Amino acid sequence: MKILVTGATGYIGKRLIPLLLQDGHTIVCPVRDKKRAQNYYKDQKNVELVEADFLSGPSLEAIPKDIDLAYYLIHSMSNSAKEFHILEEKCAFNFKRFTEQTSIRQVIYLSGITNDTKLSKHLLSRKNVEKTLASKKYSLTTFKAGIIVGSGSSSFEIIRDIVEKLPFMITPKWLNTKTQPLSIRDVLSFLHNALDKKELFNTSYDIFGPEIMTYKTMLLQFAEVRKLKRWIVTIPVMTPGLSSYWLYFVTSTSYKLARTLVNSMGVEVIGIKSDINQILDVHPMTYKEAVELAFKKIEQNSIISSWKDSYVSSGKLKNYVHEFINVPEYGCFRDFKKRKVKNKEVTLNRIWAIGGETGWYYGTFLWKIRGIVDQFFGGAGLRRGRRHPSELNSGDALDFWRVIYADREKGKLLLYAEMILPGEAWLEFRIEDGILYQTATFRPHGLAGRLYWYSVMPFHWFVFNGMINNINK
Q: Tell whether 262 and 383 lie within a shared domain.
A: no
Query: In angstroms, rounded to a whole number, what is the distance separating the alpha carbons of residues 187 and 306?
Result: 16
Q: Tell whether 305 and 318 lie within a shared domain.
A: no
CA 26 to chain centroid: 25
The pair phi, psi for residue 415, each rounded to 5°, is -115, 145
Alpha-helical segments (H) within 233-353 = 240-250, 255-265, 276-280, 287-299, 344-352
Q: Tell whether 112 and 203 lie within a shared domain.
A: yes
Its domain, for residue 125, covers 2-309
Tell me, what CATH number does 402's domain have?
Answer: 3.30.530
pLDDT band at 255, cuts 50/70/90? low
Last residue of a domain, one of 284, 309, 334: 309
Q: Tell whether 24 and 52 lie within a shared domain.
A: yes
Sheet strand arrangement including 397-398: 333-340, 435-444, 423-432, 412-417, 401-407, 397-398
pLDDT at residue 237, as a whole number: 67
Nearest to 253 by CA among 167, 378, 355: 378
Tell me, what CATH number does 199's domain have?
Answer: 3.40.50.720
pLDDT tens figures, 174-193: 788 899 999 999 999 999 99
CA 4 to chain centroid: 21
**Does the pLDDT at position 320 exceed 60?**
no
Dump the DSSP string for 96-116.
HHHHTTS---EEEEEEE---S
**Does the pLDDT at position 80 exceed 70?**
no
Residue 44, number of CB atoms within 10 A of its CB: 14
pLDDT band at 302, cuts 50/70/90? low
pLDDT tens figures, 324-335: 777 888 888 999
| Average predicted confidence (pLDDT) for the chain | 85
Q: Tell whether 403 and 464 lie within a shared domain.
A: yes
The beta strands (E) that lie in 185-271 are given as: 203-207, 213-214, 231-235
More confident residue, 417 or 380: 417
pLDDT at residue 197, as a whole number: 93
Alpha-helical segments (H) within 301-433 = 344-352, 364-376
pLDDT tens figures, 202-223: 999 999 999 999 989 999 999 9
More confident residue, 238 or 375: 375
Q: How many residues are given for the chain?
A: 473
**Does the pLDDT at position 85 exceed 80?**
no
Query: In angstroms, rounded to a whole number, what is the distance separating the alpha carbons of residues 403 and 428?
Result: 10
Dump the DSSP string for 304-321.
---GGGSGGGT-S--S-G
Q: Tell whether 334 and 233 lie within a shared domain.
A: no
**Does the pLDDT at position 449 exceed 60?**
yes
Q: Tell whether 331 and 255 lie within a shared domain.
A: no
Q: Tell whether 49 and 99 lie within a shared domain.
A: yes
pLDDT tens figures, 112-169: 888 877 777 777 888 889 999 999 999 999 999 988 998 877 778 888 888 888 888 8
Query: In angstroms, rounded to a whole number, what is the distance separating the alpha carbons of residues 143 and 363?
Result: 48
Query: In angstroms, rounded to a whole number, what is the distance separating the alpha carbons of residues 29 and 16?
Result: 12
Q: Tell whether 264 and 391 lie within a shared domain.
A: no
pLDDT band at 350, cuts 50/70/90? very high
Which stretch of DSSP H or E encloses residue 424?
strand 423-432
Q: Tell whether 300 and 346 lie within a shared domain.
A: no
**Does the pLDDT at position 466 exceed 60?**
yes
**Does the pLDDT at position 76 exceed 90?**
no
**Does the pLDDT at position 67 exceed 70?**
yes
Question: Which of 50-64, 153-167, 347-361, 362-376 has the largest mean confidence?
Answer: 347-361
Number of folded domains that form the chain: 2
Nearest to 17 by CA among 195, 207, 265, 146: 195
Last residue of a domain, one of 260, 277, 309: 309
| Entry pTM | 0.76
Last residue of a domain, one of 294, 309, 324: 309
**Does the pLDDT at position 79 exceed 50?**
no
Q: Residue range 285-311: average pLDDT?
A: 75
More confident residue, 79 or 427: 427
Pairing state of beta strands 47-51 and 2-5?
A: unpaired
pLDDT at residue 407, as a whole number: 87
Nearest to 181 by CA among 153, 222, 224, 146: 146
pLDDT at residue 257, as a whole number: 67
Q: Tell whether 86 and 142 lie within a shared domain.
A: yes
Q: What percent of the chain has pLDDT over 90?
A: 40
Question: Which of 49-53, 196-200, 243-247, 366-370 has the largest mean confidence?
Answer: 196-200
**Does the pLDDT at position 445 exceed 50?**
yes
Q: Tell whether 22 and 138 lie within a shared domain.
A: yes
**Does the pLDDT at position 27 exceed 70?**
yes
pLDDT at residue 56, as a whole number: 86
